[in-house]
């Protein structure tokens, strides 16, 4: 039997598996037999997606809309309504849950469910399949107690478990009010019943899943729950175990530290959102964060645990200028995280950050992802420089490919020195994407000497060690005397011998 309902979304890449679609599918009740999940990526042509969606002649197509896929999904909906105007298009997701009357995609679609759709989507489908016409186009999703929801995890297929990132959640919502985040609209965090959740995790484990990515906004909010979940995995720990959590940076009591120390290298990854170390900016955006305690906890995790630390900063927040951000970057660098993700502020639809627009002369991109273009503290050129800084930092600082070279590049003034290097690279490369790795080494080699004053022999020795670990074949590109087609092993060994005698 061909399905009447197609549940679909455009993921950022294939390896992402949509948790939201599986919640909708799990809670369809009797309609589940008449539905199917269909996942695509933003790299696919909307025409091809439309063809696949319409191949089974569904009566309803539900689409999850997010900031990263709204442009492509708008094109898709336009095609669907042209090709099959009788098919009912239902939108849901954070991108269409606010400011609905301003969006082209909403005008094209038949219905929009704002907020939680777990139960409301099923009810709307029941009406439409029974040929009942709802009075309103925009429907506020009903938030029901989490205990009433069917959990989605058994709807991850065996192929999903083998090949894709699997997302899970032990709670929903967030008690904090950081204004750049949609979670600022939540009243609090709501936990799923713990044993029920752990039973579902056990089923996933028995099916072979070893990498669990928790999407909880505040995983370590309730420490006893956090410890129970960590104990669950400690009892099953093997060499393939990998757990990703988002941690509140200033909340790391001793009982939690003790559990963390039990995990071996490669098993834990913590995403830690610092965003800004500036207390005045934190107050402006309603962010409550003990900076001293946060720094102490990151330092402790770096020195006493094997967890991989992925930290976040945001540039463009109201009241923060470039020197303030640079100080925060340097402070975070000194704590030694493995990654510092540099985000540019985005105006998420519905987020309270918009209340600062006039007072701080904040101008946002009118197109997704609605990134900040300038403020009264950072003009457009500075914002563009920061975009380039962030991109090159990912390629050089976060990639792990420049482990020996990075300390030379950063010295005692990490932000200021990398800012100079980033500007030099852009001046000479005129691009921030599609830079081949050998060329990137050449740019670092030349820029490190030209604007950072690093000695040639010292810089080449470090780059040589890093290049040897990249697996690149052929001559070493940043040493002109070895740019010929000879085995890389011979080149590297010859260079090491030469450098010893410099």
Query: Where are the domain boundaries for CATH 3.40.50.280 in the chain?
Result: 5-144
> Which architecture, in CATH terms, is 166-378?
Alpha-Beta Horseshoe (3.80)
Report the C-alpha gap between 209 and 202 in whole angstroms: 9
Query: Where are the domain boundaries for CATH 3.80.30.20 in the chain?
Result: 166-378
Residue 147 has pLDDT above 50, yes or no: yes
Helical (H) or strand (E) element with 343: strand 339-344
Report the C-alpha gap between 289 and 48 in whole angstroms: 47
Given a contact cutoff of 8 angstroms between Cβ atoms, the answer to whether 40 and 9 are in contact is yes
CATH number of 5-144: 3.40.50.280
Helical (H) or strand (E) element with 8: strand 5-11
Alpha helices per DSSP H over 4-119: 19-26, 46-54, 70-83, 104-108
Given a contact cutoff of 8 angstroms between Cβ atoms, the answer to whether 230 and 247 are in contact is no
What mean pLDDT is reported for the chain?
94
Residue 315 has pLDDT above 70, yes or no: yes
**Beta-carbon-side half-sphere exposure of residue 4 (alpha carbons within 13 Å):** 12
Handedness of CA 387, 391, 396, 399 (dihedral sign): positive
Confidence bin at 252 (pLDDT 50/70/90): very high
Confidence bin at 480 (pLDDT 50/70/90): low
> What is the pLDDT, as a whole number, of residue 298?
98
Q: How many CB atoms lie within 10 A of CB 263?
A: 18
Residue 314 has pLDDT above 90, yes or no: yes
Short-list 421, 400, 260, 424, CA closest to 337: 400
DSSP 452: T
- Judge if pTM exceeds 0.85: yes
Distances, alpha carbon 416 to alpha carbons 267, 420, 462, in Å: 34, 6, 21
Residue in the structure block whose two tokens are 């009788």: 86
Residue 213 has pLDDT above 90, yes or no: yes
> What is the pLDDT, as a whole number, of residue 484?
39
Give per-residue pLDDT as tens, 394-452.
Answer: 999 999 999 999 999 999 999 999 999 999 999 999 999 999 999 999 999 999 999 99
Average pLDDT rounded to a whole number, residues 289-301: 98
Average pLDDT rounded to a whole number, residues 233-248: 97
Report the C-alpha gap between 397 and 330 in whole angstroms: 13
Q: 76 phi and psi, to 5 degrees?
A: -60, -45
Report the C-alpha gap between 375 and 288 in whole angstroms: 23
Short-list 332, 345, 338, 281, CA closest to 305: 338
Handedness of CA 479, 485, 488, 491 (dihedral sign): negative
């Amino acid at each position: 039997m061909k399905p009447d309902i197609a549940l679909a979304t455009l993921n950022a890449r294939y390896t992402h598996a949509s948790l939201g679609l599986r919640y909708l599918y799990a809670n369809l009740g009797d309609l589940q037999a008449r539905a199917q999940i269909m996942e695509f990526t933003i790299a696919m042509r909307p025409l091809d997606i439309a063809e696949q969606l319409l191949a089974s002649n569904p009566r309803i197509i539900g689409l999850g809309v997010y900031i990263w896929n709204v442009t492509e999904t708008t094109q898709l909906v336009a095609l669907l309504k042209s090709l099959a105007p009788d098919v009912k298009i239902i939108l849901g997701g954070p991108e269409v849950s606010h400011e609905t009357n301003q969006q082209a995609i909403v005008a094209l679609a038949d219905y929009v469910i704002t907020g939680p759709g777990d139960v409301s989507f099923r009810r709307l489908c029941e009406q439409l399949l029974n040929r009942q016409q709802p009075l309103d186009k925009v429907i506020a999703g009903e938030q029901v107690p989490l205990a009433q929801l069917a959990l989605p995890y058994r709807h991850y297929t065996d192929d999903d478990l083998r090949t894709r990132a699997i997302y899970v959640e032990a709670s929903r919502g967030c008690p904090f009010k950081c204004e750049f985040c949609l979670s600022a609209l939540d009243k609090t965090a709501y936990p799923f019943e713990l044993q029920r959740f752990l039973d579902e995790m056990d089923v996933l484990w028995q099916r072979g899943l070893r990498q669990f990515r928790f999407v909880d906004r505040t995983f370590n909010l309730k420490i006893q729950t956090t410890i129970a979940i960590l104990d669950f995995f400690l009892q099953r720990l093997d060499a393939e175990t990998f757990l990703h959590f988002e941690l509140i940076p200033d909340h790391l009591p001793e009982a939690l530290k003790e559990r963390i120390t039990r995990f071996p290298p490669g098993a834990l990854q913590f995403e830690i959102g610092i965003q800004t170390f500036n207390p005045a900016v934190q107050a402006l955006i309603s962010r409550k964060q003990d900076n001293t305690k946060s720094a102490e906890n990151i330092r402790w995790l770096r020195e006493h645990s094997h967890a991989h630390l992925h930290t976040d900063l945001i540039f463009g927040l109201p009241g923060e200028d470039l020197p303030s951000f640079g100080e925060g970057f340097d402070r975070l660098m000194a704590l030694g995280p493995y990654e510092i993700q540099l985000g540019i502020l985005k105006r998420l639809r519905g987020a309270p950050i918009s209340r600062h627009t006039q007072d701080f002369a904040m101008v946002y991109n009118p197109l997704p992802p609605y990134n900040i273009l300038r403020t009264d503290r950072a003009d457009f050129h500075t914002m563009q420089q920061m975009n380039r800084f962030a991109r090159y930092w990912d390629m050089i600082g976060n990639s792990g490919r420049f482990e020996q070279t990075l300390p030379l590049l950063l010295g005692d003034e990490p932000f200021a020195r990398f800012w100079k290097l980033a500007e030099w690279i852009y001046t000479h490369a005129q691009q921030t994407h599609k830079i081949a790795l050998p060329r990137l080494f050449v740019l670092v080699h030349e820029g490190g000497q030209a604007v950072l004053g690093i000695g040639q022999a010292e810089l080449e020795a470090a780059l040589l060690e890093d290049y040897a670990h990249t697996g690149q074949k052929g001559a070493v590109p940043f040493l002109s005397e070895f740019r010929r087609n000879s085995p890389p092993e011979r080149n590297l060994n010859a260079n090491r011998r030469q450098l010893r005698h410099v």
